[in-house]
Amino acid sequence: MRPYLLLFLFISISRLCAGQDLYDRISDKMCTCLQRTNAALDSVRTHKCLDKIFHKFTDELIKYHELNTIGELDMEEFMNMMWGRLAKNCKYVKNAFKDTIAKYNPQFVPDAKPVCDSIHTGEFYYVEYSSEYESYDTTFATFSREEYLEKIQPDNTYSRLSIKWISDCSYKLTFIESNDSFKKSFSKPEDIYVYEIRKVTVDSFIAEYMWDGPKVFIEYIRVK
């Protein structure tokens, strides 16, 4: 490898790691602040708390993103990245969303012994409620033998993960990449997610996401 290419690679990796560390530090501070205020996520106290943390890191954000002023920062992407880290790592945020998650989970009676061999591959979609925009987002999911691919509407973003079936009705996803700001903040390469299928019908199946948080069920509907 040519010396200048090696130097460019080193600088790029160093900058990426620095950015990840910066966003991790910001989210850690925000989590601590949320726990201390012990208020609802949409309360005035919470907004003041998050704003205070944000202003403490403005100089570092300007430097990292090579901005002239903090006003040039893409705030939507910034908040998506913050909520991605908070949703994964902050127990206070997980608990705060517990009731909302339960409200929008599909209602169903689990199969005693679901038969899952017919859904190992295929085209499906699922619908999620977005509390931020008070709307429903549709995500199309392709199950192939080695890869799981999501395409998220209406933003036309994607996420790629490898897939391995642990048993007939459970599978493991390993994160590869995403251009969705929330999901690439929630996950890093090689992060693993395990799902258990709880119910199968002719046109759909329901999978439970196994994680350290409230129960999350996703209803995948087959694309016809």
The distance between the two most distant Cα atoms of the chain, rounded to a whole number of Å, is: 61
d(CA 193, CA 174) in angstroms, rounded, equals 6
In sequence order, the 6+-apart residues with CB closer than 8 A to the CB of 89 are 27, 28, 31
The reported pTM is: 0.78
Domains of the chain in start order, with CATH, are 3-96 (no CATH), 110-222 (2.40.128.490)
> Amino acid letter at 69?
T
pLDDT by residue for the chain (224 residues), tens only, comes to 444 443 333 333 334 444 568 999 999 999 999 999 888 888 888 889 899 999 999 999 999 999 999 999 999 899 989 988 998 889 888 888 777 788 888 999 999 999 999 999 999 999 987 665 566 788 999 999 999 999 987 778 999 999 999 999 999 999 999 999 888 898 999 999 999 999 999 999 999 998 877 789 999 999 98
CB atoms within 10 A of CB 163: 18
